[in-house]
Structure 1
Amino acid sequence: DKYEEICSVMKEVTNDKLKGILNYTDDEVASIDFIGDTYSSIFNAKHGISLNDNFVKLVSWYVFT
């Protein structure tokens, strides 16, 4: 489905164009898990959803230090 395609691309760019800036997780996480994290943002594949092929909800954690 489209959401899986998006997740695949997001995972790919975390190891290429956005390496060191964007991280990827598909774990069950909470804000406390990112304390001290060096990435600007962490894409959370586990918490996003696809309502249909044209509408998805993406979740990314932002770290402020």
Structure 2
Amino acid sequence: SDIVYEWILRSPPAGGSLRMTIIVSRRVNSYDEEYLQFINIRAVKEVLSYIRIKYLTILLIVHFTTEDW
């Protein structure tokens, strides 16, 4: 199973809320476009970056929202 680390910061300097999710997956295609589109519904701005360390794929998702989660 995948390991999920999540931090939620209320009221960042820009206003709204900041939610950062780090997902460590052993499968590169564990999270397809459908999953990303579901996340993007609540996200005004989304930054995605992939970091590959040996056989692990780290999916870093940073959400900037204007409403509460």
The TM tier, using the shorter chain, reads 0.3 to 0.5
Is the radius of gyration larger for structure 1 or structure 2?
2
If the length of structure 1 is used for normalisation, what is the TM-score?
0.36
Higher strand share: 2
If the length of structure 2 is used for normalisation, what is the TM-score?
0.35
Higher helix share: 1
